[in-house]
Structure 1
Amino acid sequence: MDQLLTDAVPAEWEQLSSRYSAALREKVSRLAQTHKRELADFFYGEMMRDKLAAQFLSHEQVKTRLHASMQDWICDLFHHGEDRDWRAVMAYQSRVGDIHARVDVPMHVVLHGARKLKAGMAAVIARDGGLADAERYEAQSLVNAMMDLAMESMSAAYASSHDRNSRAEESYRLFSVAQNVAAEKERQRAALLDWENQLMFEQAMGHSASQLPKIGASEFGLWFRHKGSHAFGGAPETASIQNAMQHIDEVLLPLGSAAPMQDGAARLQHLRALREQAKTIGFHLERLFEQHSELESGRDALTRLLSRKFLSVVMAKEVAYARRSNTRFAVLAIDIDHFKSINDQYGHEAGDLVLQQFAALINNLIRAGDYAFRLGGEEFLLLMVDTTEEAALRVAEKLRKAVEREGFRLPQERSLRVTVSIGMAMHDGHPDYMRTLRKADDALYLAKSDGRNRVSG
């Protein structure tokens, strides 16, 4: 089906162009070029009136970058040339459709924008003195037909990309418990107990509310908010755990610090309330794990880290979470330095052992809510949730030093010292996660060009 579209649609563009005179197409191209800024202003002005569209366009960088991109798109779409490569024109529209799917802009919002842009072009055509009355009708007909074909190409790419993302999203939802269920259950039960024990100790010491450990920021809380809640999405127990965590952090902890130290009965009642909420979380967590089984597809077979398969799903999910919660996350792009020489000198078995030991170092360093990927070869990526630039750089430097100190074990009782280069980028609120990935890649390139075994960000 995709091949049929690839072959048929460029021919439609060419046939459409041939139905109008070269003189008319030249005039429409001139109008688009002359009024591109006005049309982009009109387009975004109208789109910002739509509450749903405004959610995607309110970010300052989006407005700045997309305004220029819209001007380029208008000029390219209506550009007049007898030798136009219509396959390239269609590919351009397809790329735009892919981006819309990636940042999760609903297609009806895109079509709404196209309708508004048609109206903007109609206003430009209506007041242009270089067009005869008969030409105005033909010009608007050409504009409408070109816009419709552009939207058709965008929609086809959008649907294909959205279907792929949806399949990956569902696969990830089932997979994202991501380990042996029994082991993960014990790990999270222990994390929940650690938080509870720490809380009781801090309470006994009489610390203020600001000093008490919030469950949302604990190892368990990070895991549940960023992984568990997604893995178990739709289950009523998930909402119950989220509500209990919110009640603890927003109601019980502040209330506990306000209780007079000498009022033993009040403090005992408060501790019982905390204990009941913790028991509720533990009960629902047990139920959730009982309902799910292990799914191993999507994990890198060698390192057991997440594979590239789920990178787009996780990135999109964290971008949406950051937008809702007004938090930030960091991406660390990591390369093992001169890895090819390890394979060449010691063999691929030794290279595999280095990759496995490096993955173990990563797993020992990251928090429960963070994500670790092997992208392929010696390329790795960390996504650090709920963090700051300073904290992310500290983790990156800590990882670099840990690798530098580690003696990597090779076959025949040999060992090897290796280093890594790391590029760090913070998510800046832009809805397209590819920008953050590219920034991390650029920082990694800088770290490698500066001599390797360093962090850049």
Structure 2
Amino acid sequence: MPKISPEQLAREWGRLLAVVPNGVHERIYLQAQTHQVALASYFYEQMLGDAVVSQFLSHEQVQERLHGSMQRWITTVFSARSDTDLLPIVAQQIHIGEVHARIGIPVHLVLRGARCLKERFVDLLHADPELQGEQAHIATRLAVGVIDTAMEIMSQTYSSANDRNSRAEEAYRLFSVSQHVGSERERQRAALLAWENQLMFDQAVGADAAQLPRLGSSEFGLWFRHKGAHAFHGSTEATMILDAIDRVDEVLLPMFALAPASLQANRVLCLRELRDATKSIAYHLDCLFAQNNELEAGRDVLTRLLNRKFLPVVLSKEINFSRQRKSSFALLAIDIDHFKQVNDRYGHEAGDMVLQQMAAILTNSSRGGDYIFRMGGEEFLVLLVDTKLGDAIKMAEKLRKLIEREAFRLPQDHTLHLTISVGVAAHNGHPDYQRVLRQADDALYRAKNSGRNRVIQGED
């Protein structure tokens, strides 16, 4: 079904308004202005009564911001008249529909909230002594029509955006399972073995049970929770690996606190159970990799990093993970300072070599569960999983100093020293990933405009 253009939507909205007398317009707008706070409160009371919606709206900052936005929406949609430029109002509804799709609020719940809002607003119009007889009928028809038209625009946008997100989600899943299957399998098997060896060593030297390394926080655990589990979503093996990781961290490792070194038999039993769990994870991991083939779509050709294609999917996935696990993630928006001068002075071949070396530094400095994107040109984005703001700032400073010291190789054995500017932002619970992305971008902009070669923290 072809998408209706904003211009056509504006014309349809205009036809709805054209048959309404000015006096009726004024009374409707007055009621909207007078009762905007109560109407917004009623709308969110209905929405928060649903368990699905409440998880999106439980964040205090979200409630404060959305309540004000809802009040403005009520007055805006009812301020329009037939001679108003309706394109900005249509654009507002399109934007709202895109946000709803981005954060995953089911469209039927928004429509239910709109139905409750219509009922309450119609009650207010019927109670207005200035609206009697035919005028009351016209006012009711317009109020219902305006809200229905706005919801229609939002729903159309939601459907389109949701389709795009679904296609990107599936493409990313295929990409995730297929990138360098052979080398990834060996890397993750090695990471799992490294965790097991570290655990055995810590046990041998008598480390306290509380200090034993958790599998979920290991290099393998971070990779599987944030990438592998998504790549192999829906498979029995992936579920079994996640369950095994939880069992190791929540059941088996705490058993060592109940099995002191003096009780050798109990300690050996714990170690055997851990060994069996590790073997089971390795077996299921091999099964998963054996089921998939290589696919390269979604990777930047020059640097082999992820490109922007999968950024919405990854950010949405990490927000859902953070909400479920009560964890956090952070973004590092990175720009190579004065990169244009490299191309101008040394040529594009030199610029490409710099970008490739930069990608290698970022990759080698990150963990298995982290994501690195080339956003275009000399801009990169690093997503640090399970990371709070303070640790993200430390990581950004570490990268800044590392790159400042690095000798970048150029053609004909020339070298060059470069610096980077970094904007840092941490996810604070807001369900819309664009918020944390904008914070990181704004911080990067301030870092570049305050002298470069520095790390700036994003602001709420």
Q: TM-score, normalised by structure 2?
A: 0.97
Do the aligned residues in 2 keep the contact of 1:216 with 1:245 (CA within 8 Å)? yes
Letter in 1 for 2:298: G
Deviation at 1:133, TM superposition (A): 3.7
Contact 1:408 1:415 in 2 (8 A): yes
Aligned to 1:173: 173
| Structure 1 unmatched runs, 5+ | none
Residue 216 of structure 2: aligned partner: 216
Cα separation, 1, equivalents of 2:351 and 2:20 = 62
- Name the SS of the counterpart of 1:255 in structure 2: helix
Alpha-carbon distance in 2 for matches of 1:205, 1:257: 15
Cα deviation for residue 4 of structure 1 reads: 4.2
Q: Deviations over 1:338-372 (max 9, x none)?
A: 11111111111111110000000000100100000
Alpha-carbon separation, structure 2, partners of 1:319 and 1:359: 25
Local SS of the residue matching 1:92: helix
Asked if the contact 1:43–1:120 (Cα under 8 Å) also holds between the matched residues in 2, the reply is no
Partner residue in 2 for 1:451: 451
Q: Counterpart in 1 of 2:108?
A: 108
Q: CA deviation at 1:86?
A: 2.3
Q: Distance in 1 between matches of 2:95 and 2:173?
A: 27
The change in CA–CA distance for 1:11 and 1:80 in structure 2 (over 3 A counts) is closer
**Aligned counterparts, 1:61-210, within 5 A:** 61-177=61-177, 179-210=179-210
Deviation at 1:135, TM superposition (A): 2.1
> 1:10: Cα distance to partner?
2.1
Partner of 1:291: 291
After TM superposition, give the deviation of residue 7 of structure 1 in Å. 4.7
1:9 corresponds to: 9
Instruction: Give yes or no for the alignment of 1:370 onto 2:358.
Output: no
Moved over 3 A (4+): 1-8
Q: Cα distance, 1:178 vs. partner?
A: 5.8
Distance 2:177 2:401 in 1: 30
- How big is the shift at 1:83? 2.3
Provide the residue aligned with 2:391 in structure 1.
Answer: 391
Cα distance in 2 between the residues matched to 1:10 and 1:80: 11
> 2:272 is matched with which residue?
272
Q: Which amino acid aligns with 1:242?
A: L
Bigger shift: 291-300 or 14-23?
A: 14-23
Give unpaired runs (5+ residues) of structure 2: none
For residue 141 of structure 1, report the CA deviation from its aligned partner.
1.0
Query: What amino acid maps onto 2:273 in structure 1?
Result: A
What is the identity, as a one-letter code, of the residue corresponding to 1:202?
D
Code of the aligned partner of 1:88:
P
Given the alignment of the two structures, is residue 307 of structure 1 paired with residue 328 of structure 2, yes or no?
A: no
- For residues 380-404 of structure 1, give each alpha carbon's deviation from its aligned partner in whole angstroms, at most 9, with x where no partner exists: 1010010122211111001001110
Amino acid at match of 2:456: S
Cα distance, 1:60 vs structure 2: 0.7
SS of alignment partner, residue 424 of structure 1: strand
Give 1:269's aligned amino acid. L
- Indicate the SS of the match to 2:412: coil
Q: How far apart in 2 are the matches of 1:221 and 1:29?
A: 56
Task: Tell me the CA shift for residue 134 of structure 1.
Answer: 3.1
Q: Secondary structure of the equivalent of 1:327?
A: coil
Q: Does the Cα contact within 8 Å between 2:97 and 2:155 map onto a contact in 1?
A: yes
- Cα offset for 1:26? 2.1
Residue 358 of structure 1 is matched in structure 2 by 358
User: C-alpha offsets along residues 55-92 of structure 1, whole Å, 9 cap, x if unaligned?
Assistant: 21111111111111111111111114342122332221
Q: Is the CA contact 1:111–1:151 (under 8 Å) kept in the aligned structure 2?
A: yes
* Aligned 8 A contact 1:330 1:392 in 2: yes
**CA contact under 8 A between 2:195 and 2:218: conserved in structure 1?**
yes
- Residue 248 (1) aligns with residue 248 (2): yes
Whether the 8 Å CA contact 1:408–1:418 is kept in 2: the answer is yes
SS at match of 1:412: helix
Query: Which moved further from structure 2: 46-55 or 162-171?
Result: 46-55
Q: State the AA in 1 paired with 2:68.
A: A
Q: Aligned to 1:260, what secondary structure does the other structure show? A: coil
- Amino acid in the other structure paired with 1:379: E
Aligned-residue identity in percent: 54
**Over the residues paired in the alignment, what is the CA RMSD in angstroms?**
1.2
Amino acid at match of 1:333: A
CA distance in 1, matches of 2:364, 2:80: 59
Please say if residues 17 and 81 of structure 2, whose CA atoms lie closer than 8 Å, have aligned partners that are also in contact: no
TM-score by length of 1: 0.98
Q: Is contact 1:40–1:71 with CA below 8 Å preserved after alignment?
A: yes
Contact 1:207 1:257 in 2 (8 A): no
2:17–2:82 CA contact under 8 A, matched in 1: no
- Classify the secondary structure of the residue corresponding to 2:373: strand
